[in-house]
Each structure stands twice: as structure tokens, then as C-alpha cells.
Structure 1
Amino acid sequence: MGETGERDRWTRATEIIGVFLLSVTAVLTAWCGFQSSKWGGEMSIAFSQASSARIQAANAEGEARSARTFDLTIYAAYVQAVGDGNEELADYIRTRFTPEFAVAYEAWVADGEVENGPFVREEYVPEGAVEAEELNARADEKFAQALENNQRGDNYSLLTVLFALVLFLTAMSQREIAPWVARSLLGFAIVVMTVGAVIMATFPIRI
């Protein structure tokens, strides 16, 4: 009778712990699914922002190329006028230099015209070039952020698999099996759930 009573107490304890584990694991699994969904949304937003920045960067690069082409055309006309000895035309064309090119041209002349033209000077930054560089950097940053958010979502998804193992072990421990097997399965489930919870605590959250 004593042995039967002790077995009944172990059975009740196993059932109570099993119900507790199932409840807690269900909540943790739902939380992981929620976080995975949120980080998936953050990933989509970051990818969209990266794409938008890349398109804007391409437009700015096109603007910079157009500005460079214009400066090249004006400078070619200026060189031709100087070569022809037409100082009046050369002076007129020089007044038509864009501000970005004028700065580089003056620096080139001040240094004795040692480089192969003012276009190689670091002072020459055609309109749109800086904006294109900034937008490309933003696109790279957002793309990297999107990949990071994707990994975070995957991490939470992997935890749901771990918690599914907890549910399986707990359910198996409630079957009509040898008490020591039931206790072993339940103990393993507790360990797995604890490890999963600790790992989850290290993950960033998004509300």
C-alpha cells in the first residue's frame, strides 16, 4: 500500500510538472513566433530602405556623370579657345565653369598645372557625387541591417523547434510508461526548456 501510494504521488507530481511545462512552453513558443514575425517585418523594411537608397544613389550618380560631362565639354572648349589664342572667348568660357569645377581648376593652376588636368584634383567633386556616396553607404548599412534582422528572426524560429522538443518530451512523460522513464523524460524536458529560455533571454526583442 505504501509503495502504491508513493507511486501515485510520483504520478501526480509528474502530471503537475508536465502541465506546468506544457503551459510555459506554449507561451514561450508563441513569444518566439511573435518575435520571429516582428523581426521578419523589420527585415523587409530594411531591405526596402536599402533598395530605395540604392535607387536614389543611382540617380545621384547619373547626375554626377552629367555634371562631369558638362564640365568636360566646357573645359574642352576653353582649351580650344586658349589654343587658338582667343583670350576673349577663353575668358568668357571660364566664367561659365561650374562652381565645383572652378574650385578644382583654380587649385590646379595655383599648383603649377602639374597634374593631367583639373579633373584629377581631389577638389573636383561634381554635383551629386557626395550625395551618391552617402546614399550608397546608407544602402549598404540598411542591407547589412536587413541581414541581421533576418538572422534574428531565424534564431527565434530555431527556438520554436527546441521548444517543440520540450512539448514532445513532456507529452511522452505523461504516457503509461515506467516511472523512471517518465521522470527521465520530464527531467530532460526541463533541462531543454531551461536552456532554451536562457538562450532566448540573450536575444533582442521587438515590440
Structure 2
Amino acid sequence: MLESAVGAVGYVIRKLNQVRESDDTSQSRFEAIEIIEAVILAFVAVATAWSGYQAAQWAGKRAEQYAEATRLRINAEGLATLAGQERIYDSDTFNSWLAAKLDGKEQAAEFFERRFRDEYRPAFTAWLRTDPFNNAQAPPRSSCPTTTMRSSSSFLV
């Protein structure tokens, strides 16, 4: 490839020298313009080919990045849905436990307490330690650490 390019450049230089040495100025000028046009067209052809190559290369990269973004978005939506479902479950079982506890139905309260998710149980136990039924300073509710963790972007894989 390099040899043909060097050969082409040498040909152009020889032709331009012939044009300069020629006596016919109008013909020499015409040949010089033709040579310059050929060089410009060759440059345009190479630039067009390079542009097409780069466009194809970047289109592939863009497609990869788009696929990765889509995968992450779907993963995030799935995790958000799961977190919402877990929050509803925790809230529903806690409300059922609280209603049973306030009605004095200890067996029903124990039943609902056994249904708490493992991730929710430490928060519930910590909340109970504040003695919420007798302590006015106790926090109004408990929160589950997995729901908080899932809301951060570092959890996404």
C-alpha cells in the first residue's frame, strides 16, 4: 500500500515537472489542474472510506452501550418493583400484627410476627426495644435496611 502511494506521488511529481518544462502554457496549466483534481479526489476517496469505517466502528460501540444501558434499566426497574412489593408485604404484616396486638389477640400477633421477612425482623426487633406502646419518645415506625440499600445505585449489578 505504501509503495503504491509513493509511486503515485512520484508520478504526480514527474507530471508536474513535465508540465513546468513544457512550452505550451495553456496545455501545461490544464494538465496541472487535472493532476491537482486527481490528488484532491484521491484524498476525498480516502477520507470517505475512513469516515465510513469510523461510522461503522462507532455504531457498533453505540449499540453495545445502548444494550448495556437497557440491561441496567431493566435490572433497576425489577429491583424497584421487588422493593415495592417487599415494602407492601412488610407494611401489611406489620399492620396485621399491630391490629392483633392492640385487640389483645396474642396468638394472632405471634402468627403475624412469624411471617415477617428475615430482612425486616431486625428493624422490627430494634423498634420493639424502644417500648413504643409505653414510650412517647419511641420512633413512629421501623425501616428495613434492604429497601434503603436497594434505592442506592451501588446495589445495581
Same fold by TM-score, threshold 0.5 exceeded?
yes
Contact 2:76 2:156 in 1 (8 A): no
Structure 2: where are the runs of 5+ without partners? 1-19, 133-137
Counterpart AA for 2:139: E
Counterpart AA for 1:79: L
Among the aligned pairs, what percent are the same residue?
25
> Would the alpha carbon gap of residues 40 and 136 (structure 1) be closer, same or farther in structure 2, given more than 3 Å must change?
farther
5 Å-filtered alignment, 1:1-207, equals: 5=23, 7=25, 10-110=29-129, 114-118=138-142, 121=143, 123-126=144-147, 130=150, 134=153
Q: CA deviation at 1:92?
A: 4.1
Q: CA deviation at 1:83?
A: 0.8
Q: Which whole-Å CA distance do the structure 2 matches of 1:36 and 1:6 have between them?
A: 46
Contact 1:56 1:135 in 2 (8 A): no
Number of matched pairs: 132
Give the CA RMSD over aligned residues. Answer: 3.6
**1:42-87, CA deviations, whole angstroms, 9 ceiling, x for partnerless residues?**
3233333323332333222222222111111211121122212334
Structure 1: where are the runs of 5+ without partners? 139-207
Which piece of structure 1 moves more, 89-98 or 30-39?
89-98
> Would the alpha carbon gap of residues 18 and 110 (structure 1) be closer, same or farther in structure 2, given more than 3 Å must change?
farther
Query: Which structure: larger Rg?
Result: 2
Counterpart AA for 1:18: E
> Would the alpha carbon gap of residues 34 and 76 (structure 1) be closer, same or farther in structure 2, given more than 3 Å must change?
same
TM-score for the superposition, normalised by structure 1: 0.49
Q: Which whole-Å CA distance do the structure 1 matches of 2:155 and 2:109 have between them?
A: 38
> Would the alpha carbon gap of residues 99 and 126 (structure 1) be closer, same or farther in structure 2, given more than 3 Å must change?
farther
TM-score for the superposition, normalised by structure 2: 0.61
Equivalent residue number for residue 146 of structure 1:
none
